[in-house]
């Protein structure tokens, strides 16, 4: 079926897409990103002891990951050594200021400078970080870096189609659901259907401002609870 709503150049026949800035975007670099509630540090072996502590009694948090849980600190260390050396995905350790310890990791991945497309993914947060201000800000910092600093046009979020928390997070942040790829992958011996979400450069400014306002200190009460919701009104 032809998508009659697809963007097109109105003067071309047959129809083709509109002209865009085809300049390849820069690659992200291994640099620190600091926010009000969290700091992202290039992932390194020195983070292993803190990450190991964060992963205790958290086997369920790896249910939808392609790796883990890890039986020993040495096993986690071996994974981190290899993971941290890659350029795609490019990984950061996540350090919430409230605890001062690394409690997760996050990456930019599927990096396509020529297509100005990039994905935020491979996100693992320990139990204390989940559904926290620091978790949202960690994602926001890399979203802002990709879209504002590096100028990417398309920011992707994908997850196991059965991963309801990840789907809710994508919608809450402002990603638009694009569909599912059936039997897309095999993960830990099981079929994975993959749900795709994306945010385009024209959609980003409104969501950037909404997330920034939600993260602002004025939106948090004395008990550390947000006064307003970040959920999209049109979701």
Strand partners of residue 176: 198
The domain locations on the chain are 33-219
Q: What is the pTM of this model?
A: 0.94
Neighbours of 32 (CB within 10 A): 11
Q: What is the CATH number of domain 33-219?
A: 3.40.630.30
Q: Where are the alpha helices (DSSP H) in the chain?
A: 48-54, 73-84, 133-144, 164-173, 204-215
| Whether the Cβ atoms of residue 80 and residue 51 lie closer than 8 Å to each other | yes
What's residue 26's pLDDT? 98
Strand runs labelled E in the chain: 33-34, 38-42, 90-96, 104-112, 117-125, 154-160, 176-187, 190-200
pLDDT of 118-159, one tens digit each?
999 999 999 999 989 999 999 999 999 999 999 999 999 999
Question: Which is nearest to 229 in space by CA: 154, 172, 147?
Answer: 172
Q: Which of 192, 198, 104 is nearest to 155 (CA)?
A: 198
Question: How far is residue 39's CA from residue 100's CA, in Å, rounded to a whole number?
Answer: 9
Q: What is the DSSP letter of 25?
A: P
In order along its 235 residues, the chain shows pLDDT tens digits of: 567 678 887 777 788 888 999 999 999 999 999 999 999 999 999 999 999 999 999 999 999 999 999 999 999 999 999 999 999 999 999 999 999 999 999 999 999 999 999 999 999 999 999 989 999 999 999 999 999 999 999 999 999 999 999 999 999 999 999 999 999 999 999 999 999 999 999 999 999 999 999 999 999 998 889 999 897 544 4
């Amino acid at each position: 079926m032809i998508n009659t709503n697809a963007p097109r150049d109105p003067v071309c026949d047959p129809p083709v897409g509109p002209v865009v800035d085809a300049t390849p975007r820069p690659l992200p670099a291994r640099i620190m990103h600091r926010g009000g509630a969290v700091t992202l540090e290039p992932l390194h072996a020195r983070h292993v002891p803190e990450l190991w502590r964060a992963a205790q009694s958290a086997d369920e948090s790896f249910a939808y990951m392609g790796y883990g849980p890890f039986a020993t600190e040495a096993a986690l260390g071996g994974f981190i050594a290899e993971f941290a050396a890659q350029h795609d995905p490019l990984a950061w350790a996540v350090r919430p200021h409230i605890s001062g310890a690394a409690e997760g990791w996050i990456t930019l991945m599927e990096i396509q400078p020529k297509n100005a497309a990039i994905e935020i993914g491979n996100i693992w947060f320990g139990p204390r970080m989940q559904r926290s201000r620091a978790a949202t800000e960690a994602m926001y910092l890399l979203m802002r870096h990709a879209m504002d600093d590096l100028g990417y046009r398309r920011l992707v979020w994908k997850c196991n189609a059965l991963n309801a928390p990840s789907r809710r997070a994508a919608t809450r942040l402002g990603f638009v659901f694009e569909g599912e790829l059936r039997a897309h992958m095999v993960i830990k011996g099981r079929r994975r259907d993959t749900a795709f979400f994306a945010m385009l450069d024209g959609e980003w400014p409104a969501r950037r401002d909404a997330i920034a306002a939600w993260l602002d200190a004025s939106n948090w009460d004395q008990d550390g609870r947000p006064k307003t919701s970040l959920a999209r009104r049109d979701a």
